[in-house]
Amino acid sequence: MRLRFTTAGESHGKGLVAVVEGLPAGLPVSAEAVNRDLARRMQGYGRGARMKIERDAIEWIAGVRAGETLGSPVAMLVPNRDWANWEDVMAPEAGAPGGPRRRRVARPRPGHADLVGVLKYDRLDARDILERASARETTARVAAGALARRLLEEFGVRIGSHVVSLGGVHAGRGEVPADLNAAADRSEVRCLDPDAAAEMVRRIDAAKAAGDTLGGEVEVVATGLVLGLGSHVSWDRKLDGRLAGSLMSIPAVKGVEIGLGFEAARRPGSAVHDAIEPGADDRSRDPRAGFRRRSNNAGGLEGGMTTGEPLVVRVAMKPISTLMSPLPTVDLRTGAPAAAQSERSDVTAVPAVGVIAEALTALVLADAMLEKFAGDSLGEMRRNVEGYIAAAGARWEAERDAPPEAAPADG
């Protein structure tokens, strides 16, 4: 079985819906755990007024009973509290059913989906596009990712993130703490470097005063992964490609790096590839099958497969497209030059994009776990994982203890 998910809903519609299919039966889940991730997504210095209105929380619609998954699709609803404030925007004008809507958006914002969307879908009002293109949709993805994270936790996998740059300020590279999210969430910009975090806050304040927005980079780290998730045999099964595609789908994300990323292109191979050496003595329980790497420049992936080392992925987010000091555009009603529409927005959402990237990473990794160890129930899946780890360790033991092969005779 493979993990699939889909979302529905608009930014100011009645709510957002997430449907997750493929979770095994018997997985303990709670609304409180999902809601914690939803709350983390709403935090971060530089967020806009919308975050003060919403109190995101899920309602189970299907697939969960008595705190456990049933093996059927899980459906969750996140109501939008701001629906009442925008209901008039979504309603037709009086006496013109299906006609133009109030507060029509006819001045598309550069960098957003507005212009291409209205042309592609033959709409008159860019709100028909921007309501779905809005990053508000990622609320449903974070809810889906929380369930994927819960499955991974059953197998010792932990996923966290932190901000490594924001507004041109780069954090110092130090040791990543064991509980990454606990450390990062203590910072209002989710940065582990206090000095860099203080400068990030100053730049956010300056950008807000100037009516501008800021981008940045986040790093996602997943630990406890068994080696061999993904595959080398076909392009669409390579885990690095699956991760990059998923993370690039986050609104405003323009780049993804794994391990050294682009830096690997600037170094000689001897300074890039990770030397292999013997690892744990108890190989029957070691997710790396008794091997380890002296470094982790590959970011936990080789040949499209996990190595068992920490998975390290960085995501680059451009500045948000909606500016309070709007850029030039064209009014679609008249064809004349105009200032772009100003919508209520954030100065930056870089701290939040880390939480979203965690969710997408969890969904890809949970899918890879189900691809490799599929079971109808959590117990069956656990037996499959344990058997695979034990067999991989036993093979290494057998190879190591076997007598050396005789050298081939000359001639």
Asked, for residue 72, whether it belongs to a domain, the answer is yes
Q: Say how many domains are in the chain.
A: 1
Scan for tokens 């990543």, then name that residue.
Answer: 176
Neighbours of 222 (CB within 10 A): 25
Angle between helices 31-41 and 138-153 (to 10 degrees): 130
Asked, for residue 388, whether it belongs to a domain, the answer is no
Give the angle subtended at the CA of 43 by the CAs of 105 and 314, to the nearest 5°.
90
Asked, for residue 403, whether it belongs to a domain, the answer is no
Neighbours of 62 (CB within 10 A): 12
Asked, for residue 405, whether it belongs to a domain, the answer is no
Parent domain of 288? 4-378
CA-to-CA dists, residue 328 to 107, 126, 251, 339, angstroms: 9, 16, 22, 5
Asked, for residue 398, whether it belongs to a domain, the answer is no
Provide the token pair at 83: 């629906």
Alpha helical stretches, state H, 42-106: 50-53, 83-90
**CATH number of residue 17's parent domain:** 3.60.150.10
CA-to-CA dists, residue 49 to 93, 183, 343, angstroms: 27, 26, 11
Asked, for residue 41, whether it belongs to a domain, the answer is yes
Q: What is the pLDDT along the chain (411 residues), one digit of tens a residue?
A: 589 999 999 988 899 999 999 999 999 999 999 999 999 999 888 766 555 566 899 999 999 999 999 999 999 999 998 776 665 555 554 444 454 445 789 999 999 999 999 999 999 999 999 999 999 999 999 999 999 999 999 999 999 999 999 999 999 988 899 999 999 999 999 999 999 999 999 999 999 999 999 999 999 999 999 999 999 999 999 999 999 999 999 999 999 999 999 999 999 999 999 999 988 777 777 888 888 899 999 999 999 999 999 999 999 999 988 888 888 999 999 999 999 887 667 899 999 999 999 999 999 999 999 999 999 999 999 999 999 998 887 876 666 666 766 655 655
Asked, for residue 383, whether it belongs to a domain, the answer is no
Asked, for residue 409, whether it belongs to a domain, the answer is no
Scan for tokens 């994270």, then name that residue.
Answer: 149
Provide the token pair at 170: 């780069």
DSSP letter at 127 equals H
